[in-house]
Amino acid sequence: MKKQKMTYLSSGMVGLAGLVLMGLQTNDAQAATNGTVNYADGATTVWTSPAVGQKPARYLATNQQVTIQDTKQVYGQTWYKLGNDEWVSSQFITAGDATAQPATTTTAVKNTVTANFQSGATTVWADTTAAQPTGEYLTYGTTKNVIDQKDLNGTTWYQLESKGWIPASYVVLNNPNLDGVTPITNAPAVTPVAATTTTTEVQAPTAPQATTPAPATETPAPAATTEATTPAATTSTPAATTQPAQTQTTTQSSQQTTQAATTQQAPQTNTTTKASGNAQTVINAALSQIGTPYVWGGSTPGVGLDCSGLVQYAYAQAGVSLGRVTTAQEGAGQRVSLDNLQPGDILFWGGAGASYHDAIYIGGGQYVHAPQPGESVKTASISSYFMPSFAVRVL
């Protein structure tokens, strides 16, 4: 490594950040592998960058062979570099050593899962916390290979080849034809599993804590991109429930600790919640309308909706009555910063009192909305090309 660093410095690399970046690129280039496009429902977009603001560079066909020159993690998602300014999300490329022999034994024992949720599509999550969708959705009858399985808190999760996770309650194992299986029409309740590292983050501070711990505000990072080749589909997947409270400390008295444990069940902890029960009801209702045509003034689910009609319908499923138009919906809750969004918040475009579009934030830098005439309800990512003006929290 020291020799590599000297080489980089002599080549004109300036600064430690440039040195590290060059070192990573060199190591990846030496370990370059081939990959195969695994997306079968259309063309796969190659983007100019894995970050927000990228543009399409070209498109790849199913089973097309590519060379993976580099990898990069962006907001927890892996991206493959195929060439200069050419990046593809790893979920659409199956990577493998060009010289490796087919692993016949793995194929023989590989399990499959088949989506059994018929009322919409099932979200594939980045991990078992169900906090961030990968952008991949499984429509009813879609079969995927399983590479791992976890049984946590009474819930079974399957990891797909795309590295995403899906709860067992939405799929059927090793029955691709769904023979003798009754389709699911109502979204099952699933308790997401928190990452184990959160239990170690509650450490005793040097200063005493207040008797009522202040809830930590968790700001989801915006999603890097919206993959153009991800099939548009509805989803009714599990709610991302409250993560273990990270504002509690072990240095408090036993009475304070008891109080903190109780506080986790109270509404005040919503600031650390990925999506409360009511918020997830709103999100599921909105996502269930993916594919519904945009109709100006439309308020009929499954037939035609405009942006505010979708928001009004989704909140109604959680028992919240909203006004019919965007300007009326602006006053339905409390204004919140775009840097402090929570799933279920309403995003608005335009000035206060003169908004012209709204959407429902679903987490992970994504939202669901009814865009415009000629399009249908779909998900999108917050980006500089179409940045919301402000947000309102109702739940």
Across the strands, what pairs with 99? none
Catalytic residue among 72, 81, 144, 369: 369
Q: Tell me the sheet residues that pair with 144.
A: 113
Clarify whether 178 is annotated catalytic: no
Catalytic (active site) residue 114: no
Tokens 């009754």 locate to 182
Determine whether 357 is an active site residue: yes
Given the residues 81, 144, 274, 357, the one annotated as active site: 357
Tokens encoding 321: 């009555």
Q: How far apart are CA 227 and CA 142, in angstroms?
A: 19
DSSP 245-314: PSS--TTS-HHHHHHHHHHTTSGGGGGGBSS-HHHHHHHHHHHTTTTPBB-TT-EETTTEE-HHHHHHHH
Vertex 130 angle, CA 247 and 319, to 5°: 85
Which uninterrupted H or E stretch holds 107?
helix 104-109
Residue among 200, 204, 196, 284 at smallest CA distance from 251: 204
Q: Which of 307, 359, 368, 382 is catalytic?
A: 307
Can you tell me whether residue 109 is helix, strand or coil? helix
Whether 330 and 353 have beta carbons less than 8 Å apart is answered as yes
Which residues are identified as catalytic? Answer: 307, 357, 369
